[in-house]
Amino acid sequence: MQEINLQGSKVLVTGSARGLGESFARALVTAGAQVVISDVLHERGQALAIELGAQAHYVPLDLLDPESIQQGVQAAVKAMGGMTGLINNAAITNSGGKMMEDLALETWGRVMDVNVRGTWLVTKASRPFLASSGRGRVVNLASDTALWGAPRLLAYTASKGAVIAMTRSLAREMGSDNITVNAIAPGLTLVEATEYVPQDRHDHYLNGRAIKRPQVPDDVNAAALFLLTKNSGFITGQVLPVNGGFVMN
């Protein structure tokens, strides 16, 4: 990944004890930012913060618990001495492989509570601190499944479509505070969470891409980090597919 300078940035990343979130945390530290790793996987999150050194901190944060979100954001701000950026990365799938008729009501509710309500509540709690920085940046993790309509992923796909719509509304609401809000819509990326995905789905993505190789975390890191820089200050309310050309806007 090409070098990006984020010296002086202070970024909270939700769901960052593993997967893409972990990759974001590593890339942010490499770019010179302070980062708060937040998750419900406490041992992994703490171990990652220790590994990454003085620029990294761990804060427990459960997107299903509004009080945990409020406390987690406040603890993140205290640990970093402020906040300039937020990556709303945490999400669950839960409905993988099931058709609409087989999807449990409880599963639908849990996916929406984590992926949609959680993103809203973390952003809401973070807004005052992002505003006071004078250059706040919010990057929401959507998914290209919401752009092409992946089957057997109904709850997840719908939740990521909601994240895209919410990104645009938040961009208009928060622009007066000089906060940008954008979304990244990655394709299927080789991380721990996608190991369960059947090989035919991997092949479907690979065959449909303009760039014929697997997608790796650094492909997504580069986009996320750019949207956190000062240079992205006039880009807001946008959805950037990062998927090798599988979906083209």
Placement of tokens 């990006």 in the chain = 4
- Residue 116 is given by DSSP the state I
Quote the CA–CA distance of 22 and 236 in Å, as a whole number: 25
H and E: helices and strands count for the chain: 9, 7
Residues annotated as catalytic (active site), given as ranges: 156
Q: Give percent helix, percent strand, percent coil of the chain, each to the nearest 5.
A: 50, 15, 35
- Residue 195 is given by DSSP the state T
DSSP one-letter string for 123-183: HHHHHHHHHHHTS-EEEEE--THHHHT-TT-HHHHHHHHHHHHHHHHHHHHHGGGT-EEEE
Quote the CA–CA distance of 142 and 63 in Å, as a whole number: 16
Quote the CA–CA distance of 248 and 65 in Å, as a whole number: 36
Helical segments of 31-153, H only: 42-52, 66-80, 105-112, 118-133, 145-148
